[in-house]
């Protein structure tokens, strides 16, 4: 596998799937069934997290203050709004023919990104 040879880290993602199959007319030879299955995926990390510290205790997301984790400055928020507008403009012009006449007016996104190839 190329990802393993390249030294990328990965995780196994397991999903337990349970469902009931109910019969319309129950008899001794025709009973409801409970079906169980497991779906498995192998997910490679696109961006390594080896440089991130892991010496602090984990915490529940339910009790976590997300604003302390994602602390954006006013400039970051404004940049993010502008990027969302550009993405929306690109999508409108490319996938909805009625907006194609605006294609030359919409700036196309080509921002320098740290992980551009991973995206």
The phi, psi pair for 74, rounded to 5°, reads: -60, -40
pLDDT tens digits along 92-117:
888 998 988 888 887 666 656 666 66
Cβ atoms of 23 and 30 closer than 8 Å:
yes
pTM: 0.40
pLDDT greater than 90 at residue 45:
no
Give the span between the Cα atoms of 114 and 5, in whole angstroms.
Answer: 23
């Amino acid at each position: 596998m190329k990802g393993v040879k390249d030294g990328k880290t990965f995780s196994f993602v397991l999903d337990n799937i349970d469902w009931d199959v109910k019969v319309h007319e129950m008899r001794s030879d025709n009973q409801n069934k409970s079906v169980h299955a497991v779906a498995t995926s192998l997910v490679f990390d696109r961006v390594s997290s080896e440089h991130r510290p892991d010496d602090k205790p984990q915490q529940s997301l339910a009790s976590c203050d997300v604003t302390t984790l994602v602390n954006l400055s006013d400039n970051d928020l404004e940049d993010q709004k502008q990027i969302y507008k550009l993405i929306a403009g690109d999508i409108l012009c490319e996938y909805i023919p009625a907006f194609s006449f605006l294609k030359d007016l919409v700036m196309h996104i080509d921002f320098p990104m740290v992980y551009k190839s991973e995206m």
